[in-house]
Amino acid sequence: MLVVFGFAQGGTHTVAVWAPTAQTMELLHYTTPHGGEPTIMPMARNALGAGVWSVDLPKGASWWTYYKFRLKVWCPWTLRYEISEVTDPYARGLSANGERVWVVPTDLEHESLVPQGWHEHPIPSFKQWTDISLYELHIRDFSIADESVPSHLRGKYLAFDPERVKQGNGGKESNGLAHLAKLREAGLNHIHLLPLYDFGSVPEREEEQLKVEEDLSQYPPDSDKQQAAVLAVADQDGFNWGYDPVHWGVPDGSYASDPDGAARIRECREMIMSLHKQGWCVVLDVVYNHVYAAGPNDRNSVLDKLVPGYYQRRDEDGTLCQSTCCNNVATEHYMAERLSVEDLVHWAKHYKVDGFRFDIMGHMLLRTLNKMRAALDGLTVKKDGVDGKRIYIYGEAWNFGEVVDNQRGINCSQLNLTDTGLGGFNDRLRDGALGGGPFSPPDLQGFVTGLSLAPNGSTGQGDAAAQAQELLVLSDWVRYALAGNLSRYKMETANGKVLAGGEAQAMGVPLAYGGQPSEHVAFIGCHDNLTMFDFITEKAAPNLSAEFRVRMQIMCLSLITLSQGVPFVHAGDDILRSKSLDRDSYNSEELIQKHVTFANTGPNQVPGVIMMLLSSGDQGTEAYDPQFEHILVVFNASPEPKELQYPTPLKRLSLHPVQQDAALEDDEMWLKGCAAHDEGAQLEVPPRTTAVFVTTR
């Protein structure tokens, strides 16, 4: 890490790194990002603390220069002393491909790094975490094929900047930015960006990236030539999700106009500022559970070169744990935990990030996430330029691998998140709606995809009676999710018993496990596995029309957006033009139990139909809705239209204005079949349709 004594240009710059088992340590100091011979500077041990090596750079001449370390250290995996060259895990600037660390002010306060208006630009605000709605997006995917974006901006940070786009596009807005504006108008408010820190799987210089040169349109749609051509360059092209971190604290250079020097820092900040100005908050996808490489020889190995065997988690026999797909990080160790906490604060404070999504969060200890939460809560606008308490944390709270069932300490798995305020993805909604799971036979059906009512012929789903019973069970999975995945929410279940969510079971564990709605991230599709449409294609009956497949996808989206909690939409799944109908932002278990109820439950329910009623509280109470007295949502997943009656007649019930407008705009819109008769006593809902009825005050 860089320690600066005196911020002025003539101040002393000290480079320090923790490597307690190293025998020798040298700093290789360069004046250029690539090439040239280094000045070799021996580093002193323990001058700044136990196990810390440090050296002072030349006074007044070291800003904007580059360095890396060379050390000799015993490696227990090769059983010999290794001499390795390695970069700095605390780097805040890099040369292309992370070859060298760039000497840059650690607070990034220099005019070359700060976009104009950075410190003054407004950041969108919201009252509470349940006001958040998430849209998952990949930086390169957003613009790489958008011909309305100037070619030099495609796939880059600056494609999110309307002014930059218009300057190179004759004053016209790009298609992608116009689409984001419509999504923002529809109610989405947080863009979740897939990892943008320095990752190792993409060459950062465009000239080093391989491309498919042949015209793939010459092949028929069922040919395997297209996939073969793409796979041939897959390891060296310009695309990867980014879940292979090398340096956590530096934006990746492949998205910058120049991967050397200031551009990656300044342009990443400019992207975030531009999104803020467009009304979006920005969520950063972080991966502290693993790193791309380990060992003494890999160019992308950093942590394991510095302190072999400390940062990387191992099994009892010494085998490197790779249950996350890469080299797992032992964040339960003090310095690994400290590094991750300080890095999170760095992104919040210096890049004004509004939220963090944790990859495989269940592989980290709850203790570590609590420290992160506390560190963020300590950030204030007056002191740090940001309000850390408004920053939302959520992630994948899966329970597996070497940490399963708290084997390395209490981890951030689903059943440990109750009342922590940490959000977790709810796979019960996904699996209840689609059927099966990501690793189940692909043709298993669920509530939306036709289980029992429109079977696909799969022999693995049992006979008609078994499918009918399973549909009722999966309908309960969906209902508990709609009610916020709360462990204390009570409802009549398929077996006729009234059970709290924590008493009902799913695959041997509590069906609902949350303590607060903000802990519930409602999702059905994300970047992992197949897209929502592909899942539907695999699971729906083969003879189902394209129209009804679209209806299934729209129903999946409606389940997400109408659930209590935090809705999560994967870019590309947003094909329905609609407003956000989830006005509810309750922050109590108790309020949801009182104001959210379900009809058509229990063993005698109409199969394939969920009826959810949201009732307003009295005026002056937290649950008061000034526009609607009641909102009745009917999810008809069956292949037939349904005539329904809510048990307690709701007078003046009519179709929600948004759906009325949609039906008027399109004569073929199936919403024309939605109706409420006899002042709401009788409801008509077309097949595979989500209908929202309201009682207007």
* pLDDT tens sequence across 130-162: 999 999 999 999 999 999 999 999 999 999 999
Span 335-375, pLDDT tens digits: 999 999 999 999 999 999 999 999 999 999 999 999 999 99
pLDDT-derived band at 678 (thresholds 50, 70, 90) equals low
* pLDDT, position 450: 97
Q: Residue 223: CB partners within 8 Å, gap ≥ 6?
A: none
* pLDDT, position 671: 67
pLDDT-derived band at 11 (thresholds 50, 70, 90) equals low
Where does a domain end: 50, 76, 102? 102
Q: Which residues face 654 on adjacent strands?
A: 694
Exposed e or buried b per residue across 454-471, where buried means at least 16 C-beta atoms within 10 angstroms of its C-beta:
bebebeebeeeeebebbb
Cβ–Cβ < 8 Å for 368, 399: no
- The length of the chain in residues reads 697
Task: Give the C-alpha separation, 275 to 271, whole Å.
Answer: 6
If DSSP codes are grouped into helix, strand and coil, which group holds residue 584?
coil
- One-letter amino acid identity for 348? A
Range of the domain at 69: 2-102
CB atoms within 10 A of CB 221: 5
Which of 26, 204, 359, 519 is catalytic? The answer is 359
Where does a domain end: 85, 102, 119? 102
In this predicted structure, the answer to whether residue 9 has a pLDDT above a threshold of 60 is: no
Residue 609, in any domain of the structure: yes
Q: Provide the CA 365 distance to its chain's centre, in angstroms.
A: 19
Span 528-546, pLDDT tens digits: 777 888 889 899 999 999 8
Question: What is the DSSP track for 132-196?
Answer: --EEEE-HHHHHTT-TTS-GGGTTSGGGG-HHHHHHTTTTPPPHHHHHHHHHHHHT--EEEEPP-
The helix (run of H) or strand (run of E) holding residue 82 is strand 80-86
Residue 319, in any domain of the structure: no
Which of 169-173, 461-465, 473-477, 643-647 shows the lowest mean pLDDT across its residues?
643-647
Mean pLDDT score across all residues of the chain: 91
Residue 37, in any domain of the structure: yes
Cβ–Cβ < 8 Å for 88, 322: no
* DSSP code at position 639: S
Which of 204-208, 479-483, 590-594 shows the lowest mean pLDDT across its residues?
590-594
Span 571-615, pLDDT tens digits: 766 543 222 222 233 345 878 888 899 999 999 999 999 999 999
pLDDT-derived band at 217 (thresholds 50, 70, 90) equals confident
In this predicted structure, the answer to whether residue 1 has a pLDDT above a threshold of 60 is: yes
Question: What is the DSSP track for 601-623?
Answer: -STTS-TTEEEEEEE---TTSTT
In this predicted structure, the answer to whether residue 402 has a pLDDT above a threshold of 80 is: yes
How many folded domains does the chain comprise? 2
* pLDDT, position 261: 86
pLDDT-derived band at 651 (thresholds 50, 70, 90) equals confident
In this predicted structure, the answer to whether residue 37 has a pLDDT above a threshold of 70 is: yes
Residue 240, in any domain of the structure: no
Please give the share of the chain, as a percent, with pLDDT higher than 70.
Answer: 94
Where does a domain end: 102, 124, 152? 102
The mean per-residue pLDDT over the stretch 261-284 comes to 97
- One-letter amino acid identity for 443? D
In this predicted structure, the answer to whether residue 486 has a pLDDT above a threshold of 90 is: yes
Which of 101-110, 112-121, 525-534 shows the lowest mean pLDDT across its residues?
525-534
- Report the CATH number that the domain containing residue 44 is assigned in CATH: 2.60.40.10
Which of 88, 267, 396, 582 is catalytic? The answer is 396
The helix (run of H) or strand (run of E) holding residue 537 is helix 532-539
* pLDDT, position 239: 84
Cβ–Cβ < 8 Å for 65, 103: yes
| Burial grade of 629 (CB within 10 A; 0-12, 13-18, 19 or more) | middle
In this predicted structure, the answer to whether residue 35 has a pLDDT above a threshold of 70 is: yes
Residue 567, in any domain of the structure: yes
pLDDT-derived band at 660 (thresholds 50, 70, 90) equals confident
* DSSP code at position 397: -
Q: What angle do CA 634, 635, 640 make, to 5 degrees?
A: 105
* pLDDT, position 667: 56
In this predicted structure, the answer to whether residue 397 has a pLDDT above a threshold of 70 is: yes
Span 173-186, pLDDT tens digits: 999 999 999 999 98
* pLDDT, position 86: 98
Span 71-91, pLDDT tens digits: 999 998 899 999 999 999 999
Structure tokens of 286?
Answer: 């972080």
396 as an active site residue: the answer is: yes
Residue 565, in any domain of the structure: yes
In this predicted structure, the answer to whether residue 92 has a pLDDT above a threshold of 90 is: yes
Task: Give the C-alpha separation, 408 to 410, whole Å.
Answer: 7
In this predicted structure, the answer to whether residue 12 has a pLDDT above a threshold of 80 is: no
Residue 229, in any domain of the structure: no
Residue 350, in any domain of the structure: no
- Report the CATH number that the domain containing residue 462 is assigned in CATH: 3.20.20.80
